[in-house]
Amino acid sequence: MSNQTIKQPSKVLNNVLRIALYTVLLTMAAIYLMPFVVMLLTSLKDVEEIRSGTLLSLPSTLGFESWQKAWSSACTGSSCEGISPYFLNSFQIVLPAVAISTLLGALNGYVISLWKFKGSDLFFAALLIGCFIPFQVILLPMARTLGWLGIANTTTGLVFVHVVYGVAFTTLFFRNFYQSIPEELVKAARLDGAGFFTIFYRIILPVSIPIIVVTVIWQFTQIWNDFLFGVAFSGFDTQPVTVALNNLVNTSFGGKEYNVDMAAAIIAALPTLAVYVLAGKYFVRGLTAGAVKG
């Protein structure tokens, strides 16, 4: 009788705490999503309704003209053309930059953690310092380097910039993850006659999926959202979508069309939103996968 009396209040208390926790989480989620809701509602209204209504008022009629206009009338300088070329430019920059920086980071982390050599710790320290170099510091030397290589104002040049700047971060991710892999595994493979690349391809890469996901999400987000490198090192035809969005928002003919601006901002954010929605849970899982050695 006494045990039932004790368990009953405990169960009620757990339910109350669970309800309170979910209430707090839902409230914080609603606050966090409020700007996106305002952007979405604004993008579906016409200009007159935006001026006469409130931020959270629902549109009287659903209209996607602003979305079509944002996609097809982004303005840069004295001329206007569709935002779609800039959207495609971003993909042409992001995909190879993410692939190359991830591969280089995996190789660097593999060498530094499992193939120790003289000066490997110094090499890793130099890469670690590279993670804390501000973007603004490398603008001038990078511009001279791109000019010397003959790839200034090109998509290839932007890919090069993001690979160089991102490889320090990817190396750090992979090195910390590979620290959890027993060195005896590599030594045993070497005794069996496996070489450097055989061990990397057949043993290391198959267990690297969690950290590869982390690196891809991190690099994709950083490169897609980049504005400074895009505006500094791109040409008129190679600008990423972030630069096109800035030009659209800061250029107006006649009245300011906030619905078009909001629609363009959502379009520009869709790829990163999709990446986090589809693979967000793997990001945290990958970050903690190599946290404990053994």
The DSSP-derived string for 183-215 is HHHHHHHHHTT--HHHHIIIIIGGG-HHHHHHH
Q: In this predicted model, what pLDDT tens digit does every residue of 20-73 receive, in sequence order?
A: 999 999 999 989 889 889 889 888 888 888 877 777 788 877 778 888 888 875
Q: Is the pLDDT of residue 293 over 90?
A: no
If you average pLDDT over residues 150-179, what whole number do you get?
A: 91
Q: Is the pLDDT of residue 292 over 50?
A: no
| Structure tokens given for 177 | 């993850």
pLDDT number for residue 114: 82
Task: Answer whether 0.85 is exceeded by the pTM.
Answer: no
Q: How far apart are CA 39 and CA 55, in angstroms?
A: 9
CA 241 centroid distance within chain: 14
Q: Which fold has domain 83-289?
A: MetI-like fold (1.10.3720)
Angle, helices 209-224 vs 155-178, to 10°: value is 150
Alpha carbons within 13 angstroms on the beta-carbon side of residue 20 total: 6
Neighbour-count burial for 33-53, b at 16+ CB within 10 Å, e otherwise: eeeeeebebbbbbeeebbeee
pLDDT number for residue 107: 92
Q: In this predicted model, what pLDDT tens digit does every residue of 99-135 receive, in sequence order?
A: 999 999 999 988 888 887 787 788 888 888 877 888 8
Q: In this predicted model, what pLDDT tens digit does every residue of 71-102 receive, in sequence order?
A: 875 454 444 555 878 989 999 999 999 999 99
pLDDT number for residue 52: 79
Q: In this predicted model, what pLDDT tens digit does every residue of 172-196 receive, in sequence order?
A: 889 888 888 888 888 888 888 888 8
Q: In this predicted model, what pLDDT tens digit does every residue of 219-272 receive, in sequence order?
A: 999 999 999 999 999 888 889 999 988 888 777 565 678 888 888 899 999 999
pLDDT number for residue 145: 92
Q: Is the pLDDT of residue 289 over 80?
A: no
Element spanning 79, H or E = strand 79-81
pLDDT band at residue 148, thresholds of 50, 70 and 90? very high
Q: Is the pLDDT of residue 294 over 70?
A: no
Q: How far apart are CA 238 and CA 85, in angstroms?
A: 9
Q: How far apart are CA 252 and CA 100, in angstroms?
A: 38
